[in-house]
Amino acid sequence: MKKVLITGGNGDISKAIIKKLEQEGGYEIYAPSHGEMDVTDIDAVSAYVEKIKPDMLINNAGYVKPQSIKQCDIEIAKCAIDVNLFGTYNCTAAVLRIKPDAQIINIGSSAATKIHATWSSYCASKAAVVMATQCWAADGVDTVCVSPGRTRTKMRKGLYPDEDQTTLMDPDDFAAVVMKAVHHDYPAGSHINVNINNVKELING
């Protein structure tokens, strides 16, 4: 059984990935919530990883709270950068200390390559995750980044409560692309942008 650690375990994308892994079988899955493992806490992450010794890490935890830099609550901005970027570093480093050949899949965001005026902390931290993925691959790490576009999740519903849900990607479809990354269908360092317009092609490609 391959042990898989998925951060942000309560999210809809995480749940969709878990469902795909369970359907395939052969995985022992750990998906702690923020309360069970704070990705920004160095000691907590080290202890959790030491306990389970995962073969694969899926960095899925994320945080966004839109605000203009002109009226910025800096603690909110710090939280976004800490969760999205430092959390990814923290968890990855902890896993690789124990298993240098572990597989790392980073869940990025299309916001890494798109401009959103009031999402700067989220966009910037996700863009950094994409670059970190490429640097880690050059450093010999088995890693890729898979970035969802607009997806039908509770988090997005909270941000855009009146959005037409039919225009959003299904989390299960995104998870199917993540499974291709699990199976090493993409070279190390790849950044796969996934959205409602290309997801079926990626699944079937």
- Mean pLDDT for back-to-back runs of 10 residues, the chain (205 residues): 95 96 98 96 98 98 96 97 98 98 98 95 98 98 96 82 89 98 98 97 94
Measured CA to CA, the distance from residue 97 to residue 94 in angstroms comes to: 5
What per-residue confidence (pLDDT) applies to 125? 98
In this structure, the chain runs to a length of 205
CATH of the domain at 99: 3.40.50.720
Domain with 116, as residue range(s), is 2-204
Counted domains in the chain: 1
What are the residues whose beta carbons fall under 8 Å from the beta carbon of 89, sequence distance 6 or more?
Answer: 132
